[in-house]
Amino acid sequence: MTFAVAAAGTGGHVYPALAVAEALVDRGIEPEAVLFVGGSRLESTAVPAAGFPFVGVELRGLRRSVSLSNLGIPRVLWRAVKRMTEEFRRRGVRVVLGMGGYVTPPAVLAGRRVGARVVLAEQNAEAGLANRTMAPLATRIFGAFPVTRGLERAEWVGNPVRRALARFDRGTLRAEAAARYGLDPDRVTVGVFGGSLGAGVLNRAVARMVDRWSGPPIQLVHLVGEAHLDSMKGSEQPWWKVLGYEDRMDLFYAASDLVVSRAGGSVAELLVTRTPAVLVPGRFGSGAHQRANAEALAREGAALMVTEDELDRLGEAVAALASDPDRRERMAEAAGRLARPDAAEVIAKALEELHGPRPA
């Protein structure tokens, strides 16, 4: 049995894909039978580190502004299709899972060339261009939200999260998390992270918020991103913990009474951990997908949305939640109603069913 998974670019694509791959392994599939295809970014290190085979190809996303670089995309695309077709045929790939983004079209086209079934998974409330374009070729389409704009056939299963978060229990982890960060049990803890594309804007906004803070006593666990660590370390205070990266996100969420973050794929983690949030949607990526994600959570009462144009009121939003535990509990309950912690298992089961019987 061989499956191909197309995921590239950011953690919002790569980590849900790894969650599905882990679920396939839990179902008895050998890791060597789950082939990842991608480019040279996060996936090129995260996938091999997780124990799955990886094939890198030259990839390039479409620039939405007028750009001469777009003229080279057809050539790059068809070279990627050719390389993937060779790999899929050699390995006997029978099912291709596309996670969206610019790696999905060549993987889907290569999959169709070798007779594989195609499955798409969309992480956002508004589907990206790649998944919308490839949807007619897909046997099944899975969505992270009750409604996915642009993908009428999407089945709501949630966005896959990795094992540690799918099985998350804040009560069990809380003491370990507090010890990890040296937290004061009498202060509300605000977790902050910006993701691989959005740390800079949030880092600067949080620094301004701290300078002007007049709300209740809080403490911050702030994941600033490795590229920003040196510049941010000088701002650290006893109640403002600055870290470059966290490989135990289960402990980060267990420590956090509320989180300030972007609104990409990480919203699934906020939902399954039932963490109230202030979401700052990014302007990058495919259209307005982060804003659509933030609006979906805000509409259900699971988050507040603060746009980049409104970042001067970030402190006001954080203070309102920090001073109101009852409101945070209502938000946690709303998040729980949207959460689908078994998304990875549901998608893995569907992939296995589409693949057909295992060889004797």
Long-range contacts of 185-188 (CB under 8 A, 24+ apart): 186/217, 187/217, 187/218, 187/219, 187/239, 188/216, 188/217, 188/218, 188/219, 188/257, 188/258, 188/322
91 has pLDDT over 80: yes
Fold match flag (3-164+341-355 vs 168-338): yes
pLDDT of amino acid 241: 94
Band (pLDDT 50/70/90 cuts) for residue 285 is low
Band (pLDDT 50/70/90 cuts) for residue 70 is very low
- Give strand pairing partners of 3: 34, 95
- Model pTM score: 0.90
pLDDT of amino acid 19: 97
64 has pLDDT over 90: no
Domain-by-domain residue ranges, the chain? 3-164+341-355, 168-338
Mean pLDDT of the chain: 92
Contacts of 90 (CB under 8 A, 6+ apart): none
Among residues 91, 92, 107, the alpha carbon closest in space to that of 56 is found at 107
pLDDT in tens, 147-197: 999 999 999 999 999 999 999 999 999 999 999 999 999 999 999 998 766
Tokens of 81: 């299709």
Q: Buried b vs exposed e over 324-337: b needs ≥16 C-beta within 10 Å?
A: eeeebeebbebbee
Write the CATH number of the domain with boundaries 168-338. 3.40.50.2000
pLDDT in tens, 126-148: 999 999 999 999 999 999 999 99
Q: What would the mean pLDDT of 36-43 be, rounded to a whole number?
A: 93
Look at the block and give the residue holding tokens 């390039």.
60
Fold of the domain built from segment(s) 3-164+341-355 = Rossmann fold (3.40.50)
115 has pLDDT over 80: yes
56 burial level (CB within 10 Å; 0-12, 13-18, 19+) = middle
pLDDT of amino acid 60: 59
